[in-house]
Structures are given as C-alpha cells and as structure tokens.
Chains A and B, each alone.
Chain A
Amino acid sequence: TQLLEQSPQFLSIQEGENLTVYCNSSSVFSSLQWYRQEPGEGPVLLVTVVTGGEVKKLKRLTFQFGDARKDSSLHITAAQPGDTGLYLCAGARGGGQNFVFGPGTRLSVLP
C-alpha cells in the first residue's frame, strides 16, 4: 500500500499544453517536496512546501500544498520537451528528516 499516491501515472502531451499532476495521502506531512528525475540520474529537488495552503511558483511550475497538509499539486504552464521526466513527490515525517516517496508521474512532452 502506497502511503503517497500520485496521479496520473503516465501523461503524454504536446508542447505548449498545460497540465496538473497530483500527490495525495491520508497522512499529514510536516512538509512535502517535489522532484524531477531524468533517466539514469538521481532525483533533483524542485521545491519544498511547508505551510498548509502554500503556493510556490518556479518559472512555469506552480506548486500547491493542501490546507490539511495531506496533498499537493504541480501545475505546469506551456509545457516544453525539457519538462519531460519522472515527477516524484515526497512527504516528510516526524522531525522532517525522513521522507516517504510516491510512485511518480511519468511526463512526456512531445515537440
């Protein structure tokens, strides 16, 4: 049983389209992180959200943490082929140093 669920599992879109991916749990987390992972490499941290309801923007990426700190979303505006990759969310438990990962959303942006 996954503590963190991510949807959709796979997403293939055309360059220029918008998309949203979701990270959901029944557990409360002290913070939540989003990563992007490219083939053959380790995950790279994109953002950390800490406060319920928090919204963070990173260029064309918008991250939101749910009010109850159980879920999060990642919205990409005008997707580009360089956005292609595996997007992972990770919830921090306890003091914030141990993380639980979701299974990821594999995004493919076609030119």
Chain B
Amino acid sequence: NAGVTQTPKFRILKIGQSMTLQCTQDMNHNYMYWYRQDPGMGLKLIYYSVGAGITDKGEVPNGYNVSRSTTEDFPLRLELAAPSQTSVYFCATVSSSYEQYFGPGTRLTVT
C-alpha cells in the first residue's frame, strides 16, 4: 500500500496563477485533511472531508477550494496565488482509531 501520496513535491507559482495540489489515499479512510505548515507555526487545518461529497472549512480556508468526488482523492485548489500561500502543504487521512497518516508534502513558493 502506498498510503497517502501527494503531487507535485515542489512547485513555484507566480502571483495570480492557479494550481491544484493532488492527494490520493489507498487506505479506504473516510476522513481526509489538508494542512499547511509555515516555519515555527506547526500545522494549520485548511479544509477537511468526512467522506465523498462532503467537505468543510478548517482554520485557514481563505484562498483555497477542495472537492471530494471519491474516497481516494482530495485535491486542493489554489486560485489567484498570493505570496502568503508560500508554505508546505500536507494531506492526511485518519483511521477509524483516529490515527493520522500524512503524505510527504508539497513545497509551494509563490513569487
């Protein structure tokens, strides 16, 4: 099992561009999450999903959108990228025993 996979690993965007960060899990978990990690700030929840077709905002959702059409996939969309969105983005799932499993992350720079 691959667990949680994320693509791309690195990306540089210009201000105003858009992109989609991909996240796929093969663990058949219902819960999926998107976090961003800024230096010295821990992880902050952007959006989460409790199952296919259901998404909800986390702590820092502005500037992002998500969709959850299947159990496996939970893409994160950035519209009109801004320098404040420079960060490392992690996707995660949670098992039925509340154990979180993280992907390897996407390092995004907006210049």
Contacts and interface: CB of A to CB of B under 8 A. Distances in A.
Interface size class of B (residues with CB under 8 A): 20 to 34
Q: Is the interface of B mostly helix, strand, loop or mixed?
A: strand
A4 B58 CA distance: 16
Contacts of A45: 99-101
Interface stretch (B13-21, B39-47, B62-70, B72-80): B39-47
Contact of B42 (A31, A92, A101): A101
Contacts of B97: 48
Interface in B16-70: 31, 35, 40-45, 48, 50, 58
Interface of A: 2, 4, 9, 31, 33, 35, 40-45, 48, 88, 90, 92, 96-104
A98 B105 contact: no
A99 B90 CA distance: 14
A43 B94 CA distance: 13
Contact of B48 (A2, A90, A98, A101): A98
Interface of B: 4, 31, 35, 40-45, 48, 50, 58, 90, 92, 94, 97-105
Sorted nearest first, the 4 A-B pairs with minimum C-beta distance are A42-B102, A101-B42, A101-B43, A103-B42
B1 to A, nearest CB: 15
A59 B40 CA distance: 28
A10 B105 CA distance: 23
Given A33-B100, A42-B92, A48-B98, A102 B42 contact: yes
Contacts of B103: 42
A41 B3 CA distance: 14
B43 A96 contact: no
Contact of B41 (A40, A41, A103): A103
Contacts of B4: 42
Contact of B100 (A40, A99, A100, A103): A99
A2 B102 contact: no
B9 to A, nearest CB: 9
A105 B4 CA distance: 25
